[in-house]
Structure 1
């Protein structure tokens, strides 16, 4: 039986290459500064890198991709409700939510572990 973290189809040098998922998490956190532009870059990098990654890293890419799309959904809701005054609170909450998800994802990644629940809405 093969080790669940090691994928024989991926060269050993790439098995533990955490660079790209770290860059994606950084792009998401940097969205506060770039107005979300870096998050779009992160999304593209996650989609491009996901297919060639070993399974344990794919869980991070799935988590990152879901984070982007859910944050976009909630940001649209926040934008539409700005006129009612609650939208600003929603937008700030979305930013905090993305940051927390990114930090939690980074902690799993730096431990060399797959993200345990990549399809969850909260964490």
Structure 2
């Protein structure tokens, strides 16, 4: 059964909030990303398939960002970590902005299981 466009738009609000929390994580030291990933886990299972692509992308983005961020942080003392952290921030922003775009169109996130931005 297809959902109406109004229902689809209403469903995007939580995904949109999580994307915004992820963007705010860049200036909050990551605290808002932790809140966002918890929200993504909570809402993922009951979501329609097209919306689940966003939640899965958000969860994968969080864990990849945490791992690469930790590696970049450790390597920062020898200056190799700084370019890693910069690349991570750019990748993070691109994924969130694209996610906001697709959510605004009530469309699934294409290739949500991949790692490309």
Residues 52-91 of structure 1: matches in 2 within 5 Å?
Answer: 52-91=46-85
The CA deviation at 1:48 is: 0.4
Q: Does 1:96 align with 2:70?
A: no
Q: CA deviation digits over 1:33-77, x for unaligned, max 9? A: 211000111000000010111111000000110010111111011
The CA deviation at 1:13 is: 6.9
Q: Give the match's secondary structure for 1:31.
A: helix
Q: Give the match's secondary structure for 1:30.
A: helix
Q: Distance in 1 between matches of 2:8 and 2:104?
A: 13
The list of structure 1 runs, each at least 4 consecutive aligned residues, that deviate by more than 3 angstroms after superposition, is: 12-16
Contact 1:67 1:98 in 2 (8 A): yes
- Alignment TM-score, normalising by the size of structure 1: 0.86
Q: Distance in 2 between matches of 1:14 and 1:80?
A: 45
Q: Distance in 2 between matches of 1:34 and 1:14?
A: 32
Give the number of the structure whose alpha-carbon radius of gyration is greater.
Answer: 1
Contact 1:47 1:65 in 2 (8 A): yes
User: What is residue 122 of structure 1 aligned with on the other side?
Assistant: 116
Contact 2:8 2:106 in 1 (8 A): no
RMSD: 1.8
Q: Distance in 1 between matches of 2:59 and 2:89?
A: 15
Q: How many residues matched?
A: 116
- Alignment TM-score, normalising by the size of structure 2: 0.90
